């Protein structure tokens, strides 16, 4: 089994889920007391937010590159970035560190194709919703992506950082998310992507009427599958 390197802390709340899912998946396959060989480099989220907010994306990339390099030097054979937004750098990072970076959008696209869906709604930070790095991976598999309106995107983005990333779960926020999702369904979404690793903390499959794609779980399973090839 290959050693998995996790770039976490973005946020630490969802990194816990990554660690849990990766270990459960390995144990499901191997049984007994077998668990994942993995290393976590946990970033200071405040530094990431500072760079992203000022659109200093090169500064953010340098944080990821340093983390991934240290994981590689510690023996990691593959890298997973424990946040959807950070995948705007995934292809560049893979080329520079010369290690596989398991892409969260590719894994999600594969899961959507298994359900034979052609149109999905995407929730996440404003970067994930508005930039093309995630949607382009879906488009490569002929999956159409729709996103919430500007007001709803602002609400989602704000609550990810001010609430979910701090482990704060509010009922009124959950209901607003559900209302946003219903609008996407009314506009033809056959499934919903929880395109931020914190969103599954507040929205579960039981809360909506169409398939929910939990990118944290999907990404974790894809990493384990690669590690155990």
Helix (H) or strand (E) segment spanning residue 212:
strand 212-214
- State both tokens at 32: 């007994």
Residues 115 and 158 grouped into a single domain = yes
pLDDT at 11: 86
Verify that 165 and 177 share a domain, yes or no.
Answer: yes
Q: What is the mean pLDDT of the chain?
A: 95
Residues 23 and 62 in one domain: yes
Answer for the pair 99, 78: CB distance below 8 angstroms, yes or no.
Answer: yes
Rg (the chain; Cα; Å):
17
pLDDT digits (tens, 9 = 90+) for 2-38: 999 999 998 898 899 999 999 999 999 999 999 999 9
Distance CA 57, CA 65 (A): 12
pTM above 0.75, yes or no: yes
Q: Does 130 lie in the same domain as 53? A: no
Q: Please say whether the beta carbons of 82 and 103 come within 8 A.
A: no
Q: Encode pLDDT of 51-97 as tens digits.
A: 988 889 999 999 999 999 999 999 999 999 999 999 999 999 999 99
| CB 144, CB 113: distance < 8 Å | no
Residues 26 and 62 occupy one common structural domain = yes
Residue 119 sits in the same domain as residue 32: no
Q: How far apart are CA 208 and CA 185, in angstroms?
A: 10
Residue of 128, 116, 186, 133 whose CA lies nearest to 157: 128
Alpha carbon distance 101, 83 (integer Å):
13
Rounded Cα distance between 111 and 29, Å, is: 19
Closest CA to 18 of 169, 218, 166, 161: 218
Measured CA to CA, the distance from residue 155 to residue 50 in angstroms comes to 19
Q: Residue 13 sits in a domain of what CATH number?
A: 3.40.50.1860
Q: Is the same domain home to 47 and 95?
A: yes
Q: Give dist(CA 213, CA 139) in Å, integer.
A: 16
The reply to whether 61 and 126 lie within a common domain is no
Total structural domains within the chain: 2
The residue segments making up the domain with residue 39 are: 4-103+217-227
* Residues 87 and 110 occupy one common structural domain: no
pLDDT average, residue stretch 99-115: 97
């Amino acid at each position: 089994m290959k050693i998995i390197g996790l770039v976490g802390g973005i946020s630490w709340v969802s990194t816990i889920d990554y660690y849990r899912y990766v270990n459960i998946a390995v144990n499901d396959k191997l049984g007994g007391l077998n668990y994942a060989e993995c290393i976590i480099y946990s970033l200071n989220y405040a530094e990431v937010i500072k760079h992203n907010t000022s659109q200093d994306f090169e500064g953010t990339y340098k944080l990821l590159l340093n983390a991934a390099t240290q994981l590689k030097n510690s023996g990691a054979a593959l890298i997973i970035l424990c946040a959807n937004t950070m995948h705007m750098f995934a292809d560049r990072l893979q080329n520079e560190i010369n290690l596989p970076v398991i892409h969260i959008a590719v894994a999600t696209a594969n899961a959507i194709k298994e359900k034979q869906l052609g149109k999905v709604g995407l929730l996440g930070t404003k970067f994930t919703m508005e930039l093309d790095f995630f949607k382009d991976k879906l488009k490569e598999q002929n999956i159409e992506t729709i996103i919430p309106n500007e007001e709803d995107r602002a609400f989602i983005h704000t609550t990810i950082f001010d609430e979910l990333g701090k482990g704060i779960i509010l009922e009124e926020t959950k209901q607003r998310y559900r209302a946003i999702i219903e609008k996407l369904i009314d506009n033809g979404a056959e499934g919903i992507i929880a395109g931020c690793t914190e969103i599954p903390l507040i929205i579960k499959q039981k809360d909506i009427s169409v398939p929910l794609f939990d990118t944290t779980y999907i990404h974790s399973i894809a990493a384990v599958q690669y590690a155990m090839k």
